Each structure stands twice: as structure tokens, then as C-alpha cells.
Structure 1
Amino acid sequence: MLKYVTYMRVSTAEQGRSGLGLDAQQRDIDLFLQNYSDVPYEVVSAFVDVESGADNERPELKKAIELAKRESAELLVSKLDRLSRRVSFIAALMDDKKLQLRVASMPNADKFQLHIYAALAEQERDFISLRTKAALAAAKARGQKLGGLRDKTMKRNEVVKANAQRKAEQIAGIVVPLKEAGKSLRGIAGELDKAGVQTARGGKWSAAQVKRVLERLAT
């Protein structure tokens, strides 16, 4: 029988307490098991870490890896960045001959393809960081104040963004299946309205809002 050890990670203690992000990861894992896994299969155990993706010393991940090796099971994660955001760490896992790795969101990807994806994702993050620093430096050179009201605005924007992400994950079970069934953005908006689901601000849904929800769920 094919065996799996599942692993999920959220980035902060707050996410760990609220379950933010865990439902989406579990949904991806369940979709993989239902649609791509050979049968019969057994989920031997599930592990969850509440740590930063930049921190490779994660106790639950270590336990998951050890159990997967001991049981000759595949280590199953929803997305590659749930393991780590560092390509060197992911590469080390892939080089381990005793460990079998599977990524739910890329069910047919082999180790080489996963390595390339990890490398490209790391490059993109590095570029975004450089771009942000350059934009801040340019603003400072123009004499633009970067503190004070700007800090308050940033905090407010972070709260708005967090609320929008939370709302997106709450309705993922409705929006994602409709999208996969071929429904248009406008059609999905109509179904949400029919079901009595309101937007984060309590209004009606538009195609643009549905698009933003899908984009948030894809990150």
C-alpha cells in the first residue's frame, strides 16, 4: 500500500492559532489524494509547523522526514514553499536517496522540475526585494518622508490585506470548484450572490473581485 506523511506550515503563531492557511493547504493535499494518488493509500501521519519559511530548523518537519523514511512513505506537501523558501534546503532534501517527495499542487513534477521551480522562485523573491529597496531609496532621494503617516497607512493596509486573504480562504471551497468546472468570473460572482455570500465589505460580487480572490488563493 502506498503511504504518505503530510506536512503543512504556517508562518506565524497567529496563523497557527486561527488556522489561517491550513485549510487551503489541507484542501490541496486532499485534492491530490483524491485525483492523483495511486490507490489504495494510507496517510500515516500529519505534521504542522508554525515557523517562518526562512527558518530551516523546524521540529515537526524533522519528525515528518524521519517518519517518511522509516515507513518508506512519500512526504506530501501542498506547495514547495511550505518546505522552505531556500533552494539549497530543498535541493538537500531532493538529494536524499531515502526520502520521496511529492508536491500536491504539482502532482506530475519530478525532482528535476521541482528543483528548477525552487530556484526560479528564489530568484523572483530576491529581485522583488531589490526592487523594493530601490523604490525606497528613490523616494528618500526625492525628499519623501518614509515614516509617520506612511507607517500608519502601511499598518492599515496590512490589516486590510489580511482580512481579504482570510475572506478568500473562507470561500475557497465554493470559488475553486466553480472555476475548475469552467465557470466564468462573472458566473462565479453570480453564484456567490445567489448563495448569500457577501464581499468583505458586505456588498455584491463582481468579476474583478472574484479574480482577486483567485489570485490570493494562488499565492
Structure 2
Amino acid sequence: MKYYITYIRTSTKRQDLGLEAQQNIIKNFLSSEDVVLYSFSEQESGSKKNRIELNKAIQACKDNKAVLLIAKLDRLSRSVSFISTLLDSDIEIVVADMPNANKFTLHILASVAQQELDSIHKRTTDALNVIKNNIHRNGFHISKAGNQITKLGNGSCISEENRLLGQQAIKAKKLSNHNLIKAKAFANVLKKAGSTLTEITLQLNNNGFKTSQGKRFHLMTTRRLFDL
């Protein structure tokens, strides 16, 4: 038997993972012998560190020697430093959609997720800035295909460069999916350690990782992670 304190959160800007969805994830994780002592929820930005209900949940864990149970890692926070501080504290944290993940794995996922998002935003911004600067300086930009672009967002003519930017946007959207971010981070660690594609696929599924569609990984979908 384990005693849990549950914490769920929705963003103030978007409901990307609503309270009901988080409650269902937690409910599916709990066994018949588990006991939820208290449940806390709030609507607050994941970047805010001082959250009233989260502070209450953490204190309840300390007072009752219970485990802090959350649906997904990003519901705890979107700050790498904040997550790392909690993981290194004297309370135990369990992520319901990744029940087998240990502290080391969660540290990696939090760090790499932040790095991936920052890189995506920077690459997209840099590409657009190059085009805009060339147009401002020369009156045009020459794409890799040799097409001349005089402005962005021309609805009457989709240039090769704009197609490439569109492809980058689609790729960025995929990489912003938290399931794929976590899976790719974990897969990269295993690949660097010398694991085969089959072994990586097995470990992804054993640790509860899901594709962007919420499905189990197969060799093909695992291979695609390294192409993102």
C-alpha cells in the first residue's frame, strides 16, 4: 500500500491537458491498494515557481510521508531548475504516465525537453530573420532552389523557401509535442549508450513512452524519432 498526494494543473493560457484528462491518467495508474490522502489542483502558469496549491501538496507529502503523484512531468513545471530542485528534495515524485521512470531519467527528460524547445524556436527565428534581413537589405532573398523572394506570406505564390519554412513549422509542431520530446530525449540517451533500435523500442514501451498519437512505439516510429 502506498499513500499519495495528487497534484494537477492547467495553464492560464491554454488547456493543453485539462483537469479531467489528468485525473484519468492518475486514476488509471492507481491500484486498488493505493490511498490518495489529498488532492490539489490549480490554474497557473507552469513557469511560475511559487504556486499556492503546489506548495500545499509538497507540504502535505512531507507531513504525511506520502508520494507526490502527477499525471505528466510538465504539469509539475516547465522550468528545468524547478523540477530538478524538487527531484533532489526529500519527497518522492511519481509521474503517472511514466511510472517506471527514475530520478535520473526524469532529470534527463526535463533538461533535454527544455533544450529541444529552445533550439526549435531559435532555428525557426534565425531562418526567418535571414530572409527578412536579405529582403530589407537587397530587396529580395534567394532561396536554396534559386527562387527570388521579395516578401514573406505571399498568398498568391508559394515559393520554395516558404515551402521549406512550412515544413520546418510542421517539424517544430511535432517536436513541441511533449510525448515526442520525452521519447526522443530518452531514445538519444540509449542510442549514445550503444543500444540497438530494437532495444530502444523495447525500452520506450517498457517505460511508458507514447508516440504523438498516444500509441506504442514500433521500429519505424522509433527510427523516425532520430529524423526529427
Tell me the distance in 1 between the aligned counterparts of 2:106 and 2:212: 22
**Alignment TM-score, normalising by the size of structure 1:** 0.59
Q: Which residue of 1 aligns with 2:201?
A: none
Percent identity (aligned):
47
Q: Once structures 1 and 2 are overlaid, which stretch shifts more, 78-87 or 126-135?
A: 126-135
Q: TM-score, normalised by structure 2?
A: 0.57
For 2:4, the equivalent position in structure 1 comes to 4
Alignment-derived partner of residue 178 in structure 2:
none
Q: Relative to structure 1, is the Cα distance of residues 119 and 13 closer, same or farther in structure 2, using a 3 angstrom cutoff?
A: closer
Q: CA deviation at 1:14?
A: 6.7
Matches within 5 A, 1:114-153: 114-141=106-133, 142=135, 144=151
Greater helix fraction, Structure 1 or Structure 2? 1
Match of 2:19 in 1: 22
Name the CA distance, whole Å, in 1 between partners of 2:14 and 2:80: 26
The residue matched to 2:38 in structure 1 has which SS? strand
Structure with bigger RCO (C-alpha 8 Å, 6+ apart): 1
Give the gaps of 5 or more residues in structure 1.
147-213
Shift of 1:49: 2.0
Give, in whole Å, the separation in 1 of the partners of 2:131 and 2:3.
Answer: 54
| 1:6–1:75 contact (8 Å) kept in structure 2 | yes
Q: Structure 2: which 5+ runs fail to align?
A: 136-149, 154-210, 216-228
1:80-103 deviations in Å (ceiling 9; x for gaps)? 111111111111101112x11000
Give the equivalent residue in structure 2 for 1:51: 44
Aligned Cα RMSD in Å? 2.3
1:13 CA drift (Å):
6.3
Task: Give the partner amino acid of 1:108.
Answer: N
Say how many residue pairs are matched: 143
- 2:106 corresponds to which letter in structure 1? L
